Amino acid sequence: MFKSTKDFDKAMHAILNNIQNGESDFFANLNIDETDAVDALERAIELGFINGLTLRRAAGNHVMFSKNNPRLSYEGLSFVENFKG
């Protein structure tokens, strides 16, 4: 569980960097648990930072992704450029 919004933002920033750099594993080098990583990715999607990626929660809170050339939106690029971690 994240301890602060700053930690949450750091995780979103790392995920966005991974996507921007073409990483197939969006959670590479995050060093946080999978639940937090999924929460950060879900929030980045909700904020409109990522195009071409949807996340769905199924029964039992199972997470499913749908990818179609994931990339950063204008808002996502702006978040990355202005991030002060």
Which value, in Å, is the radius of gyration of the alpha carbons in the chain? 12
- Residue 69: give its domain's CATH number: 1.10.10
Residue 85 clears pLDDT 80, i.e. is over it: no
pLDDT at 62: 87
pLDDT at 21: 95
Confidence band, pLDDT 50/70/90 cuts, at residue 59 = confident
- Residue 31: give the domain boundaries: 5-82
Three-class DSSP labels, 7-57: HHHHHHHHHHHHHHCCCCCCCCCCCCCHHHHHHHHHHHHHCCCEEEEEEEE
**Mean pLDDT on 36-47:** 96
**Mean pLDDT on 7-23:** 96
pLDDT averaged over every residue in the chain? 94
Residue 61 clears pLDDT 90, i.e. is over it: no
> What's the structural domain count of the chain?
1
